[in-house]
Amino acid sequence: MQYLIDRTEDKEVTLSSLTQRLGDRTFGILLLLMAVFNLIPIISILSGMLVAILGLQLVIGFQEAKLPNFVLTKSLPAKQVRAALHVFLPKIKSLERYIKPRWQFTEAAIFDRINGVILIVVGLMILLPIPLANVIPAFVVFMMGLGLLERDGLLQMLALGLSFITGLLIYLFVF
């Protein structure tokens, strides 16, 4: 994450500049960024759509995340991005002692498809115009991103469980 903060020293920040050189871990880092961007008003709408797009790519079987150039090159307010990253960095560092590669069976393609479906649903939950309804789904995206980035199957499964609980709560609230 410090790498990401270092990349925000410019006046303008783009997703492309933040995700360069990440290879197959772009899904994880982009999901972490989407969770962070969910803290920035109005950008959270774009964040929800991008989470759903990333989920669709996992369902289809992409090995590396692909986003349209207009999204990758869109300038973001560096000051707000840096502030949001500074909020998350200490939390991630404290979690790193618990997050580690485990439950390697979640590296199977079927789990990417399951994670993708969950991310599509969670991305759509973030878009709902219900006050504060995007906070828990953003946390699910954060957990899933960390799980994919660090190849932690346990964390991915916890995100999966939390997404079901969140979906149920939102369903009960709406209906």
pLDDT band at 23 (very low <50, low <70, confident <90, very high): low
- Is residue 6 assigned to a domain? no
Domain that holds residue 132: 21-70+106-174
- Is residue 58 assigned to a domain? yes
- Is residue 4 assigned to a domain? no
Query: Cβ of 150: how many Cβ atoms within 10 Å?
Result: 18
- Is residue 116 assigned to a domain? yes
Q: Which residues fall within 8 angstroms of residue 88, CB to CB, at 6 or more apart?
A: 1, 32, 35, 36, 142
The residue ranking higher by pLDDT, 157 or 100, is 157
Q: How far apart are CA 173 and CA 161, in angstroms?
A: 19
As for how many domains the chain has, the answer is: 1
Of the candidate ranges 33-42, 57-66, 142-151, the one whose mean pLDDT is the lowest? 33-42
Q: According to the model, what pLDDT value does residue 34 have?
A: 82
Residue 85 has pLDDT above 80, yes or no: no
- Is residue 149 assigned to a domain? yes
pLDDT band at 56 (very low <50, low <70, confident <90, very high): very high
Q: According to the model, what pLDDT value does residue 3 have?
A: 54
The residue ranking higher by pLDDT, 162 or 25, is 162
